[in-house]
Amino acid sequence: MKSSIRKLLKPSQRPFGLENPFCFSFKEAPIKSHVRLLLASALTAVAGLAFSTQSLAQTDPLPSWNDGPTKQAIVNFVQTTTERSSTGFVPPEERIATFDQDGTLWVEHPIYTQVLYCLDRVPTVVKKKPELAKVEPFKTVLSGDREAIAKLSKNDLFKILDATLTGMSVDEFNAEVKKWLETARNSRWKQPYTKLTYLPMIELLKYLRANGYRTYIVTGGGQDFVREYSEEVYGIPPEQVVGTMGGTKYGYDKEGKSFLTKEPKLLLNDDDAGKPEGIHLMIGRRPYAAFGNSTGDRQMLEYTKAGDGARLAMLVFHDDAEREYAYGPAQGLPDTKVGIFSQELYDEAKKDGWIVISMKNDWKRILRLRELTRSFYVHSVVISESRPWWTN
């Protein structure tokens, strides 16, 4: 983790305008009301055109994937398991697909988003419990000394996680996460973290769901944390999020109304072997397809492939330093402490018929960023008639 925190503190600083030219020009000058209306009309037409193009292009459910064996393997799997005449046909109720989150559905470098949340929460926690200000590791986090923060031990990190993720009611926690997600910005793309999802994977989620699969997140991240945005960001409802699980404690407030408090009690560490264990606990069925990107996903993919019939196991390989990040250490890529893809994992994948997705070669586009922005833009102007976002 140490090296990752260090990376975080020296981020590359790309201007957002390069990612989204629309945004850049509109931001430059104030736009008067009637011009806005005119623009809205024009854009409605453009949107209409876009929709027609979309319906023409419906034959390709994975437009952000380059043609090739990786994309073909996905399409073959879906056809094999959903066509009634196929020997590999899977009844709809058994169609389960599980997705790791960090590094598989959204950016995990230079450091896991939830860890950033926890570091950001430290001042608030200390405000409520001033005695912590003089205690490590809180003292170091509060000092703002980036070098020192980067050197915190794993044990220190757990203390921070405990202090910032437990001890409050479930409702309070949810509200805090929601607020943070709205205001926090990634240092490289200057965007909310929820926009740093991978467009090809979002297409894959939708494609599987359109074919009767229920998509689950199976993450080493906190179950409650991910649930706060999974529906909006991935179309995955809270009950389909399997994560690292902490206990809660039932109690009553002063008015006798019941509520749950988040406890510093680990029920299941949903990583490595904990992933199939968590899948059994929360779903009770073996997945037919599983997607990951690091050694923490190995057992989930093994467990998936150990089932009968057609099963799909895929690993996202971060080999695109230019458009995202490159890390392994498999295939000679730089080593990392966040989302390790070891050579051993790479070899097991090749040996056992898992498919390694090369971000560089298999994905036309990586981040969903632009799409989300445009869709929100069309929504705000045309549908809800609220002020377009660039005037905020």
Outline where DSSP puts E strands in 174-257.
214-222, 241-252
Contacting positions for a second copy (CB under 8 A): 93, 170, 223-224, 227, 231, 237-239, 241, 245, 247-250, 257-260, 267-268, 273, 276-277, 280-285, 299, 302-303, 306
Note the maximum CA span of the chain: 68
Q: Looking at the DSSP assignment, which residues form a beta bridge with residue 262?
A: 248
What's the min distance (Å) between Cβ of 175 and a second copy? 15
Compare residues 110 and 287 and give the one whose CB is closer to a second copy.
287
Q: What is the 3-state secondary structure (H, E, C) of 79-111?
A: HHHHCCCCCCCCCHHHCEEEECCECCCECCCCC
**Is the Cβ–Cβ distance between 250 and 159 less than 8 Å?**
no
Q: Burial, 366: exposed, middle or buried (Cβ in 10 Å; 0-12, 13-18, 19+)?
A: buried
Residue closer to a second copy, measured from CB, 28 or 255: 255
Minimal distance, residue 348 CB to a second copy, in Å: 11
Q: How far is the CB of 40 from a second copy (least distance, A)?
A: 28
Q: What is the edge-to-edge ordering of all strands in the sheet holding 214-222? A: 258-268, 241-252, 214-222, 96-99, 289-292, 312-317, 355-358
Q: Please state the closest distance from residue 383 (CB atom) to a second copy, in A.
A: 18
Residue linked to tokens 């929360």: 282
Q: CB-wise, 11 or 235, nearer to a second copy?
A: 235
Q: Are 97 and 215 in contact (CB under 8 A)?
A: yes
Choice between 83 and 239, CB closer to a second copy? 239
CB of residue 92 to a second copy, shortest distance in Å: 11
Neighbours of 367 (CB within 10 A): 21
Minimum separation from the CB atom of position 189 to a second copy (A): 29
CB 130 within 8 A of CB 220: no
Pairing assessment for the beta strands 214-222 and 241-252 based on DSSP bridges: parallel
Which class for 44: exposed (0-12), middle (13-18), buried (19 or more C-beta within 10 A)?
A: middle
Report the first-to-last Cα separation within the chain, whole angstroms. Answer: 37
Min dist. Cβ of residue 251 to a second copy (A): 8
Query: 93 or 385: whose CB is closer to a second copy?
Result: 93
Least distance between a second copy and beta carbon 168 (Å) = 14
